[in-house]
Chain A
Amino acid sequence: MLWYNVGLITLISALVITEVTSPFADLWPRFRWLATLGFKIGAVLVGAWGLIIIAERTTFGPLSMLSGDLIEGWNLTQTILVAALRSMVVMLAATALGTLIGLGTAYVTVPSGSRSFLGSIALASSVVWVIPTFLIAALVQEFQAQVYGASGVGITGGYGTATALSAAWVALVLAIRPAVYVFRQARVILNDEAHADHVRAAKAMGLPRRQIYRRHVLRPATTALASAWISSFRIMIGSLPLVEFFFAYPGLGMQLILALGITYPGDLTGHFQPDLAIGLIAVMAALLMTLEAATSALQRKLDPRLHDVTWQMAS
């Protein structure tokens, strides 16, 4: 009942914020994001509690709570916080890498103007996009094994432990699909923007190519790119459990998979722990939604039209 209560308190708090601030035209636009965030996180908590409890009753029998069986003898909060910290490091690195590769490739290839070159890269991105994440992870692991076989040097960073090297491998695999997604979206967005009237005018004025693409293509496209970026982050957080489970990296994703009772015969053994599972889902949802709210705020700041529309709608 812990998470159910936390969810209800979050929902009630969001409702109070809405009731108190919405009558005031100057206050509501400032607090609207907080109320929305509260409603979303509260709904995820209550929904996750409902789903996990139903799963527990149908699959595992009545109330087989194993809340005491947490990692390394820690309590629920410690387990969740440590796992969240480990995953946040990985996600930060993966986000930076994915954005750099995806956006960088699009930014470098779109100005080239060569359709066949762009098309070839797009086809290559389609191929990478359809490869299941665990296959990419398996190939990375095979590469690690080959390096070890050839040189005797272990480059895995350890199995089942959180080290800088193991986090780097997880981040690398985690970054690949978001990078492809960002590239595919950014290619379309930058291509559309590159054909806008103001860009043609800038070209006609003889401005340097780099300046045109930096100032007149990239800058106006930032809001759309931010939307693509948050979607790629959603993809990344979705595949986090799989990648962490593959490398046995003890972050949010692997803990969640094990807390759902999924067991890998002879290797990783999970125990169904509803409290832990709901807590981990809530942390992941909170991370995602906070980033979504921050991205919306950034978009409003970058694009004055969005800012005006939001204020008009709110008031």
Chain B
Amino acid sequence: MIRLAWRLALGAIAALLLALLVGLFIYGLTIPTKWYTGVYGGGLTESGPTRVIVQPPFGPFSRLDVFTIEVQDAGSHLYLLGSDPGGRDLLALVARGAVPSLQLIGFVVVARLLIGGGMGFAIGFGSRLAATIANSIGAWIIGFPYLVLAIVIIETLEPHGKVPAFVIGMALVGWRDVAEVVSQRILYVRSQSFAEASASLGTGAFRFLRLHVMPFLAPLLAIEVPFQASATLVLLAELGYLQVYVGDVVQLFGVNETQSLLVNPELGQLLANTRRYLVYRQMGPVLVPAISVAALALTFELIGSVLKGRWRFAR
């Protein structure tokens, strides 16, 4: 009973978080293009009887009459979550960034399932040699620090296309968990008496897989997907922080220094300037994308936990 109540509470938290994020992202997507592509010099706001000029980054919940670098009026805008140092709306940037990021994560999770599933089947069904080869590749991969392996593979494959490079680089880092789940479940099913009976009756490999393995494996894979998505999202953010990201960059050349502004960024890329923002104590442009990543990852984790409780036999 307590277990069920706990699962319901977890599910409610996940649903609330998801609804909040979806709501925010939908609102962010409706913000006109100019508020996340233009570069603004400052904004005018009411401060008692007078109007004062505020320079970007603007704080959260600030409604401003914004002007461009050439001091041309750009209109009034409410910055719900604040802006980056270019005066661009952070909510709009995060909402726009979430779309390519989630697409990328989808590709990576599918690639991990394919590679991990293939290896898992090789270990679970294959000969001893196949299992040895699959285990050796896994042991070899695990010898590398995961971030470094991802960076090296992405840098190597980048000339052939950024998105495929990221998909392969990030998939090669995390497939081992999927392979372990698949192989362990297959070995478990094969050791059961019904499976031995089925094999002795001459059931073909494909039919055996469909009838006896998949009903046990499918829930496990369904549980693994949100956990993999969560891990991939965090990895994407960490790569972004280390200057490894998918999108392009525009350099703004100032008198004393050069600023990098991101063009059509994904979530990881939004974190690429973290170090610089921290030096100037600009926490908004760091916290908004980072907390968005963490909230999305937490939602995936909670969904995985709820599914895990739902399919108790799959644990």
Binds A, one of B104-112, B141-149, B189-197, B215-223: B141-149
B119 at the interface (CB under 8 A from A): no
Query: Within 8 Å of chain B (Cβ to Cβ): is A263?
Result: yes
Interface residue A2 (Cβ < 8 Å from any Cβ of B): no
For A140-158 the 0/1 string (1 means CB < 8 A from B) is 0110010000000000000
- Is the CB of A14 closer than 8 A to any CB of chain B? no
In the complex, how many angstroms separate the beta carbon of B155 from the nearest chain A beta carbon?
5
Partner of B260 from the list A47, A119, A265 (CB cut-off 8 Å) is A265
A130 sits at the interface (CB 8 A): yes
B152: chain A residues at CB < 8 Å are 48, 51-52, 55, 260
B155→A238 contact, CB < 8 A? no
Query: CB-nearest residue of chain A relative to B300?
Result: A130
Q: How far is the CA of A43 from the CA of B136 in the complex (A)?
A: 10
Q: How far is the CB of B115 from chain A (nearest CB, A)?
A: 17
Residues of A within 8 A of B145 (CB): 237-238, 240-241, 253, 256, 281, 284
Known contacts A116-B2, A285-B144; is A138 also within 8 Å of B242 by CB?
no
The answer on a CB contact under 8 Å between B243 and A264 is yes
- A129 surroundings in chain B (CB, below 8 A): 301
Known interface pairs A47-B140, A130-B298, A242-B242. Does A142 touch B153 (Cβ–Cβ under 8 Å)?
no
Scoring B residues 251 to 279 as 1 if CB is less than 8 Å from chain A, else 0, what string do you get? 00000011010000000000100111011
Question: CA A123 – CA B293 in complex, angstroms?
Answer: 17
Q: Are A131 and B276 neighbours in the complex by a CB distance under 8 Å?
A: no
Q: With both chains docked as a complex, state the minimum distance between the C-beta of A268 and any C-beta of chain B, in angstroms.
A: 8
Cα–Cα distance between A262 and B152 once the two chains are bound (Å) = 11
- Chain A residues with CB under 8 Å of B68's CB are none
Which residues on the A side are within 8 Å of B151 (C-beta)?
Answer: 260, 262
Among A40, A44, A48, A138, residue most surrounded by chain B Cβ atoms (within 10 Å)? A138
A22-46 near B? 1/0 per residue, CB < 8 Å: 0000000000000000001101100
Bound CA–CA A119/B290 (angstroms): 25
Q: Is B51 an interface residue (CB 8 A)?
A: no
Is B2's CB under 8 angstroms from A115's CB?
yes
Contact with B along A232-270 (1 / 0, CB 8 A): 001001111110011000000100110011111111000
B305 touches A126 (CB 8 A): yes
Residues in B neighbouring A262, C-beta threshold 8 A: 151, 242-244
Partner of A54, one of B156, B260, B279: B156
Instruction: Knowing that A44-B140, A55-B155, A285-B143 touch, tell me 18 more A-B residue pairs with CB under 8 angstroms.
Output: A40-B140, A43-B140, A44-B143, A51-B156, A54-B156, A59-B156, A119-B6, A126-B302, A130-B234, A130-B294, A132-B238, A134-B274, A138-B286, A241-B147, A242-B242, A264-B275, A281-B145, A284-B144
The 4 tightest CB contacts between A and B, nearest first, are A130-B297, A238-B146, A285-B143, A44-B143
A-side interface residues toward B, CB under 8 Å? 40-41, 43-44, 47-48, 51-52, 54-55, 58-59, 115-116, 119, 123, 126-127, 129-135, 138, 141-142, 145, 234, 237-242, 245-246, 253, 256-257, 260-267, 281, 284-285, 288-289
